[in-house]
């Protein structure tokens, strides 16, 4: 799941550090794809700091949510259907249909949470702006990340630009998908392919809107 879908499960929490922990695995991945910490395997490192423990609670919930989501019949079905919808328009593109189906589904779920008004993005950013930089720095250091500058560069831009608001617009999702694919492939889409991607995602979003809330309700019941 992506940022907003993860936040759905913390939308009623007032602990900013748990919210940060829920998003932190993906924030780190965006900042530096080579970082791969596993704080859940060394919980003893965080016993002496309450905020570190709160971040770890959110982190572990993130892992639980992703595990349930990626093993669900809902995910398996819809990522495959999206892959089939997009397969033909990818002819000549280096992008793998399975990869695009997977990421497209996650971004469409984020988009539906916005358009169906099931979360408050402003509340998410408000929580993240309450976080003390020193707490993140010390948490990352305990995880072997001694140069957190790439993280804070991304994190500051993430908060300042508030680009998650744009996920309500399908064309912005197509742009986000292009940016994600550009981390792996050069020139992933032509202009025509990007336009076709937007049209196909808009159509699939309408179909997905009929039952998407089921996966959130299922995971919410499991983790709580």
- Rounded to whole angstroms, the Cα distance separating 106 from 65 reads 13
Q: Residue 109: its pLDDT value, please?
A: 97
Q: Report the largest interatomic distance among the alpha carbons of the chain, rounded to a whole angstrom.
A: 55
Q: Is the pLDDT of residue 150 over 90?
A: yes
Check whether 1 has a pLDDT greater than 90: yes
pTM for the complete prediction? Answer: 0.93
Query: Is the pLDDT confidence value at 224 over 90?
Result: no
> Over the chain, what is the mean pLDDT?
95
Structure tokens at 70: 């990626």
| pLDDT single digits (tens) 153-175 | 999 999 999 999 999 999 999 99
The per-residue pLDDT for range 83-142, each reduced to its tens digit, is 999 999 999 999 999 999 999 999 999 999 999 999 999 999 999 999 999 999 999 999
Alpha-helical segments (H) within 129-190: 133-142, 149-161, 170-182
């Amino acid at each position: 799941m992506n940022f907003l879908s993860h936040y759905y499960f913390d939308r009623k929490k007032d602990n900013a550090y748990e919210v940060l922990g829920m998003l932190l695995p993906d924030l780190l991945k965006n900042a530096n794809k080579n970082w791969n910490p596993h704080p859940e395997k060394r919980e003893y490192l965080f016993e002496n700091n309450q905020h570190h423990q709160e971040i770890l609670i959110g982190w572990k919930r993130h892992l639980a949510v992703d595990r349930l989501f990626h093993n669900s019949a809902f995910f398996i079905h819809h990522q495959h259907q999206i892959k089939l919808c997009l397969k033909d328009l990818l002819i000549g593109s280096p992008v793998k249909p399975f990869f695009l189906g997977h990421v497209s589904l996650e971004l469409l779920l984020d988009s539906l949470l916005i358009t169906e008004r099931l979360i408050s993005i402003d509340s998410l950013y408000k929580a993240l702006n309450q976080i003390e930089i020193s707490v993140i720095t010390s948490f990352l250091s305990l995880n072997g990340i001694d140069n957190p500058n790439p993280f804070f560069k991304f994190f500051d831009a993430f908060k300042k630009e508030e680009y998650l608001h744009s996920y309500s617009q399908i064309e912005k999702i197509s742009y986000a998908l292009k940016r994600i694919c550009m981390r792996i492939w050069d020139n992933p889409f032509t202009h025509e392919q990007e336009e076709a991607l937007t049209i196909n995602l808009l159509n699939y979003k309408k179909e997905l809107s009929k039952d998407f809330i089921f996966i959130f309700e299922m995971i919410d019941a499991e983790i709580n």
